[in-house]
């Protein structure tokens, strides 16, 4: 199960069984999924609008833990695209987050601790470059690759796999980011032909 779905399911666990789910749950779920799609496609404005809609629905409950989980969804999408920050939306709510959310936030920041491993999704507990291919879900694989890259632990094969994963899904934003990494590495190594090829792919993906 991918990182985004893991967080979303934690968020929406109350939807399973029983009476019909409250409207805020359906709104949050649909908007978070729409946010993911728009973000990965590189449609920033649409992504921000969907996330604002989801966050507003969750905030109506007065539960900061739910909003913190949604913020982690946004952080995971950014990490998958190598758009690193300190996850300010989550940090503003961290005091009211549960241990699982704190562990996941540390993981996304590249600061996961061994003692928190059991709180993470199984495939993210001890991921390495060699293990990326074993992560079936494309989004989870990109998140894991982003974490490894942030920790300077991603080898060239892992970088290539991340770029190929984004390409196969047609996810423009992460593809552009990973192609830029490949281009820079090739230029730094003096491989002008490879660097130029990566640059051409990047321009094509970027609509040039």
pLDDT at residue 17 tops 60: no
Per-residue pLDDT, 125:
72
Per-residue pLDDT, 118:
83
Picking from 159, 108, 158, the residue whose alpha carbon sits closest to that of residue 132 is 158
Provide the token pair at 117. Answer: 């491993």
Provide the token pair at 48. Answer: 């921000």
Place of tokens 């974490």: 147
pLDDT at residue 15 tops 70: no
Residues 156-168: pLDDT tens digits? 999 999 999 999 9
Mean of all residue pLDDT scores within the chain:
88
pLDDT at residue 112 tops 70: yes
Residues 116-142: pLDDT tens digits? 788 887 777 767 777 898 888 899 899
Listed as own residue / partner, the contacts of 109-118 with beta carbons closer than 8 Å and 24 or more positions apart are 109/150, 110/147, 110/150, 110/151, 112/147
pLDDT at residue 6 tops 80: no
d(CA 90, CA 94): 6
Provide the residue ranges of all domains of the chain, joining segments of one domain with +: 3-124
Picking from 101, 85, 82, 80, the residue whose alpha carbon sits closest to that of residue 37 is 80
pTM of the predicted protein model: 0.88
Place of tokens 């359906």: 26
d(CA 194, CA 123): 32
Per-residue pLDDT, 37:
94
d(CA 167, CA 69): 28
Q: Where are the beta strands (DSSP E) in the chain?
A: none
User: What is the pLDDT averaged over residues 165-182?
Assistant: 98
């Amino acid at each position: 199960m991918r990182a985004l779905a893991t967080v979303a399911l934690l968020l929406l666990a109350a939807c399973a069984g029983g009476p019909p789910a409250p409207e805020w749950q359906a709104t949050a779920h649909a908007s978070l999924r729409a946010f993911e799609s728009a973000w990965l496609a590189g449609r920033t404005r649409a992504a921000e609008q969907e996330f604002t809609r989801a966050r507003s629905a969750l905030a109506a409950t007065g539960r900061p833990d739910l909003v913190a989980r949604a913020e982690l969804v946004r952080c995971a999408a950014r990490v998958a695209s190598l758009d690193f920050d300190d996850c300010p939306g989550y940090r503003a709510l961290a005091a009211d987050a549960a241990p699982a959310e704190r562990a996941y936030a540390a993981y996304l920041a590249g600061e996961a601790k061994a003692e928190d491993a059991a709180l993470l999704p199984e495939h993210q507990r001890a991921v390495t470059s060699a293990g990326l291919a074993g992560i079936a879900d494309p989004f989870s694989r990109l998140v894991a690759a982003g974490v490894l890259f942030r920790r300077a632990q991603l080898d060239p094969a892992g970088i290539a796999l991340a770029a190929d994963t984004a390409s196969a899904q047609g996810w423009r934003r992460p593809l552009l980011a990973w192609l830029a990494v490949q281009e820079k590495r090739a230029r730094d190594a003096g491989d002008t032909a490879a660097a130029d090829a990566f640059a051409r792919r990047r321009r094509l993906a970027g609509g040039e």
